Amino acid sequence: MDDLIQKAAADLAQAKMVSALTGAGASIESGIPPFRGKGGLWEKYDPMEVAHIDSFIQDPVKVWNLLIKDMKDIVDQAQPNDCHKGLARLEELGKLQTIITQNIDGLHQMAGNTDVIEFHGTFAWQRCMECNTHIETRRVDISEIPPHCQCGGILRPNAVFFGELIPQEALWRSRQVATDSDVMLVIGTSAVVQPAALMPVVAKESGATVIEINPESTVLTNDISDYLIKGPAGDTINRIMADLDALL
C-alpha cells in the first residue's frame, strides 16, 4: 500500500495534465450515501422506482418523498471532506486541471476546484418542467410535495435521471479531458454507470496512467486501471498529497 501511495505521488509529480473522475464514494465521508454497496440507497429502494425519469413523470409525489426530499436534507448539510480538499489543493499546485464528477452534490466546487464537469447535472438547482425556470434548491419550499414553480409547473432536480441523456457539452468535454490526460485519478466509483465509466477507458487508450482509489475493486481494476489503491478516498488522498509535497 505504501509503495502504491509513493508511486501515485511520483506519477502525479511527473504528469503535465491530470484529471479526476469521481463518484459517490468520494462524498461518503461527507455523509452522503452511495447508490450501490454497503449502506447504499439501493438497499432501501429500487432504482427504477425512484430514480428513473418515467417514474418521476408518472408519480412525482412518490419520487420527491422517497428520494429527493431526503437527498435535499443531506446535501444541504454536507461539507467537503479530505478527498475534496486534497483535489482542490492538487489544482492549486497546478497539477489537476479538471474533475469529471458523477456527483450532483457540488462539494468539489465548495472545496475550491474551478473546472468541474457535472456529468450528471447538479442538485443545487431545481428546474420547472413547464417553463424551465431554474430555482436554487435551498430556496425551494418543500412544505408542499411536489414543489411547484410560480407558473404552476412541477419542479425537478437539474440532474440526470436514469433514462435521460447526458448533457452534450459535459459528454464532449469529458471525452476531450480524458483524451488529453497523462494521469486520471478514478475515485469512489463502481464504474457501472455509462457513459461516465467510459472515460477511464478513453484515458487509458490515449496513453494515460489510470489510478483507482476505492476500498473495493471494480470492473475497471483488472483491465483498465494501472493500479488500485485500496482505501477510503480522504485518507488515501491525504497520504498521496503528503508524499507529493515531499517531491515538489
**Which are the catalytic amino acids?**
120
Among 190, 241, 237, 216, smallest CA distance to 80 is for 237
Q: Are 114 and 137 in contact (CB under 8 A)?
A: no
Q: Binding string to ligand NAD for residues 120 to 159, with x set by CB under 6 A, is what?
A: x---------------------------------------
Q: Which is nearer to ligand NAD, 181 or 190 (CB)?
A: 190
| Bridging pattern class, strands 121-128 and 134-136 | antiparallel
**Is position 218 an interface residue for ligand NAD (rule: CB under 6 A)?**
yes
**Is position 68 an interface residue for ligand NAD (rule: CB under 6 A)?**
no
- Euclidean distance between CA atoms 184 and 64, whole angstroms: 35
**Is position 28 an interface residue for ligand NAD (rule: CB under 6 A)?**
yes
**Is position 86 an interface residue for ligand NAD (rule: CB under 6 A)?**
no
Candidates 36-44, 88-96, 128-136, 237-245: pick the segment binding ligand NAD (CB under 6 A).
36-44
**Is position 200 an interface residue for ligand NAD (rule: CB under 6 A)?**
no
Give the strands of the sheet with 116-118, arranged side by side.
116-118, 96-101, 18-22, 183-187, 209-213, 227-229
Number of residues that bind ligand NAD (CB under 6 A): 27
**Is position 118 an interface residue for ligand NAD (rule: CB under 6 A)?**
no
Single residue of 40, 47, 153, 195 touching ligand NAD by CB under 6 A: 40
Among 120, 130, 88, 135, smallest CA distance to 107 is for 88
**Is position 174 an interface residue for ligand NAD (rule: CB under 6 A)?**
no
Grid cell 509513493 is found at 6
Grid cell 494501472 is found at 226
**Is position 45 an interface residue for ligand NAD (rule: CB under 6 A)?**
no
Q: CB of 238: closest distance to ligand NAD in angstroms?
A: 12
Q: Which three cell numbers stand for residue 224?
A: 483498465
Q: What b/e sequence results for 215-248 when a residue is b if at least 16 CB atoms lie within 10 Å of its CB, and e otherwise?
A: beebebbeebbeebbebbbbebbebbbebbeeee
Single residue of 91, 105, 118, 212 touching ligand NAD by CB under 6 A: 105
Q: CB of 243: closest distance to ligand NAD in angstroms?
A: 19
* Distances from the Cα of 221 to the Cα of 5, 57, 75, 132, angstroms: 16, 37, 30, 41
Query: Which residues make up the interface to ligand NAD (CB under 6 A)?
Result: 23-25, 27-29, 32, 34-37, 40, 102-105, 120, 188-190, 193, 214-216, 218, 232-233
